[in-house]
Amino acid sequence: MKKHDTKIGYACMNMDSYPASFQTCRIQNITEEKLYEMIENNILVLENMIDYNIKHNNYMYRISSSLIPFGSSPLNTLDWKHIFRDDFKRIKNKIKHGNMRVSCHPGQYTVINSPSEDVVEASIMELEYHTDLMELLSGNKNHKMILHVGGVYGDKDASIDRFIDVYHKLSPRVKKYLVIENDDRSYTVEDVLYISSQVSVPVIFDNLHHDINPSLQNLHMQEIITKVVKTWREEDGKVKMHYSQQDPGKRKGAHSETIDLALFCEDYKNIYSLYPIDIMLEVKDKNRSFKKVDLLLNPNQRTLEVEWASYKYLVMSKSIASYNQLREMFKNNPKVDVLEFYSIIDATLKLDPSIGNQVNALEHVWGYFKKIATEKEKMQFFKKLQALKDGKIKDTHMIKFTRSLAEKYEVTYLLESYFLSI
DNA sequence: CACCGTCAAGTCGCA
DNA sequence: TGCGACTTGACGGTG
């Protein structure tokens, strides 16, 4: 099925690298000292995620705008580009040698076609800040910065004209990375293609936005994608698209918890596999869905077994039947079917947790500590386990405690288990 | 320690 | 007219 060496990526957050939370602060208590500490932490978080990506053969990743708190604002007076230059250089090298493609995505406040001059000015500052990130971390023109067109203000033609005017005034360093994306409310693929035809900026196609805010309905999907593909030039690198699926329970446009792999498979076969493209996934479970899609496109039994090991206790904490079913599946089977594996995983993870199953999984986990934990830790563990059974503490508390033991004794197998991820 | 309202920014749509 | 949703999680004050 794989035809074009498609790279799969995910955005900003990673559920399974530690530490993994970006720090920020309230505007009232900004100090340079605070900014220094937060940025130092955030760079470490970013580096952990880059390391994770390299270890897991992930070649595409969106850098979070949260890396530098108030990064585009005059309120941030710290000379962070200079202070952390060595760190940026080190991470840039990792990205380069890992053959990774990074991107960034200024948020909904970046509106360069606003009628308000102040808003346009702040938006340009935001683009300059994101361009700083691109330069500090890649410097490669095929690493992209994705922007939406902006507001409509009751007159789309005039608003598109304003976008084009401001685009012409952007600095060359910003234009080097900038690409535009169709959104789920105002600017359709047709609108974005029109702007592209005027200023020759590449277009990112977002499938879910297109479903919600359609255009060019007289064309086949393949004709639309062909038009999009043509907006990219050689030096922009491979065409990039955004792929997401609707969360069935939530409002229109809400990203699903995880990728429905069978559905992805169908979309990929019918459309995306026909083009040389890279696909950025927008999905809540981030790196885990990256792994699913990666395994679908590049089946590898060894990697699948490692993945099964990561899910094992989480599955056990939901359903013994599923656990046994999966265990049987891997037994004496040198080629487990990826779609089948994940269909069981996904169905199991949707089940409501039961205390009994959780306690059972925790008892299995305890096996790793049996010989190494202190008497005191043993007491604590079983006391908490009883409290969990009695409904006196929450499962998250118990899991955090167990994770801290795994960290203390450096039990790699458990640290890589999704059951103990926070 | 757990909980939960709130957080720099813009725009749109709906009650 | 004012509020919630979008991106998203984390801050930070309170009980």
Q: What Å value separates CA A151 and C1' B11?
A: 6
**Which nucleotides on chain C have any atom < 7 A from a protein Cβ?**
5-13
pLDDT of residue A236: 96
- DSSP 3-state assignment of A280? strand
Q: What Å value separates CA A218 and C1' C10?
A: 45
Residues 222-281 of A with CB under 7 A from strand C: 250-251, 253-255
CB A50 within 8 A of CB A87: no
CB A221 within 8 A of CB A189: no
Name the H helices within A61-214.
80-83, 85-97, 117-137, 156-169, 172-177, 189-199, 207-212
A287: its two tokens: 């790196």
pLDDT of residue A3: 65
Q: Which residue is nearest to nucleotide B11 (CA to C1')?
A: A151
A266: its two tokens: 């169908």
Strand B at less than 7 A from CB of A72: yes
Tell me the pTM. 0.95
Query: How far is Cα A365 from Cα A255, in angstroms, rounded to an integer?
Result: 33
Burial class (CB in 10 A: 0-12, 13-18, 19+), A418: buried
Query: How far is Cα A192 from Cα A186, in angstroms, rounded to an integer?
Result: 10
Q: What Å value separates CA A241 and C1' C15?
A: 47
pLDDT of residue A1: 61
Q: What Å value separates CA A73 and C1' B1?
A: 35
Closest among A263, A226, A259, A261 to A241, alpha carbons compared = A226
pLDDT of residue A251: 82
Give pLDDT tens digits along chain A (422 positions).
Answer: 656 789 999 999 999 988 888 999 988 889 999 999 999 999 999 999 999 999 999 999 999 999 999 999 999 999 999 999 999 999 999 999 999 999 999 989 999 999 999 999 999 999 999 999 999 999 999 999 999 999 999 999 999 999 999 999 999 999 999 999 999 999 999 999 999 999 999 999 999 999 999 999 999 999 999 999 999 999 999 999 999 999 888 888 888 999 999 999 999 999 999 999 999 999 999 999 999 999 999 999 999 999 999 999 999 999 999 999 999 999 989 999 999 999 999 999 999 888 999 999 999 999 999 999 999 999 999 999 999 998 888 888 899 999 999 999 999 999 999 999 87
Query: How far is Cα A65 from Cα A133, in angstroms, rounded to an integer?
Result: 9
CB A4 within 8 A of CB A277: yes
